[in-house]
């Protein structure tokens, strides 16, 4: 890892490990400090180790896990799905079939959301095409939206 990592020798370990504070962890992982604390609070990320002054500090493994979470969020996985993926990622005897099942279920969810958005786009485009946009107060878009509220 790069940046202002600190080498801290743990009493119970013979090797030096690299640790950083939450701000540096956020910078290195691309996950905000607020979200790091949230992921800890919901159990997606193990609680951070603490210094004697009670400051959080994070290891290379923590940073890698945060990057994993960020990548999964970028693909639109839910918190619940990411928690499952993290658990599988951290388990050496995992089944890739389980990972694939999770991914394919998410693909089906995305397909449904895409269909819904295409329907919304089509409806909105149709409304917009009915509006002359010539500066008069009459507006079929607003009229249609007002009619929808009554039904």
Question: Which residue's entry shows tokens 């995992």?
Answer: 94
Does residue 110 carry a pLDDT above 50?
Answer: yes
Domain count, the chain: 2
Q: What is the pLDDT of residues 42-67, one digit of tens each?
A: 999 999 999 888 888 999 999 999 99
Domain with residue 50: its CATH number is 1.10.1660.10
**pLDDT for 2:** 45
Question: Within 10 Å of residue 101's Cβ, how many Cβ atoms?
Answer: 11
Domain boundaries, position 43? 6-75
For residue 130, CA distances in Å to 21, 116, 119, 137, 142 come to 56, 22, 17, 14, 11
d(CA 59, CA 40): 14
**pLDDT for 17:** 67
DSSP string, 27-79: HHHT--HHHHHHHHHTTSSPPPEE-TT--EEEEHHHHHHHHHHHHHHHTT--H
**Domain match, 51 and 15 both:** yes
Q: What is the pLDDT of residues 67-81, one digit of tens each?
A: 999 999 999 999 999
d(CA 113, CA 105): 13
| Vertex 65: Cα angle to 101 and 88 (nearest 5) | 30
**Domain match, 71 and 11 both:** yes
> Higher model confidence: residue 42 or residue 151?
42
Q: Is residue 94 part of a domain?
A: no
Chosen domain end from 75, 90, 109: 75
Tokens at 39, concatenated: 């992921």
**pLDDT for 133:** 87
Does residue 25 carry a pLDDT above 90?
Answer: yes
**Domain match, 16 and 63 both:** yes
**Domain match, 51 and 109 both:** no
Q: Is residue 84 part of a domain?
A: no
Q: Is residue 89 part of a domain?
A: no
**Domain match, 13 and 71 both:** yes
**Domain match, 13 and 56 both:** yes
**pLDDT for 77:** 97
Does residue 98 carry a pLDDT above 90?
Answer: yes
């Amino acid at each position: 890892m790069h940046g202002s990592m600190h080498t801290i020798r743990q009493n119970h370990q013979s090797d030096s490990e690299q640790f950083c504070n939450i701000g540096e962890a956020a910078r290195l992982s691309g996950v905000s400090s607020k979200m790091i604390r949230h992921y800890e609070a919901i159990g997606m990320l193990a609680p951070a180790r603490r210094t004697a002054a009670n400051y959080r500090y994070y290891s290379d493994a923590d940073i890698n896990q945060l990057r994993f979470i960020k990548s999964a969020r970028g693909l639109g996985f839910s918190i619940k799905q990411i928690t499952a993926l993290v658990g599988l990622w951290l388990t050496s005897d995992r089944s890739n079939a389980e990972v694939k099942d999770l991914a394919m279920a998410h693909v089906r969810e995305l397909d449904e959301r895409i269909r819904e958005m295409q329907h919304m786009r089509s409806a909105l485009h149709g409304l917009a095409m009915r509006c002359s946009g010539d500066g008069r107060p009459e507006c079929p878009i607003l009229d249609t939206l007002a009619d929808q509220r009554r039904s």
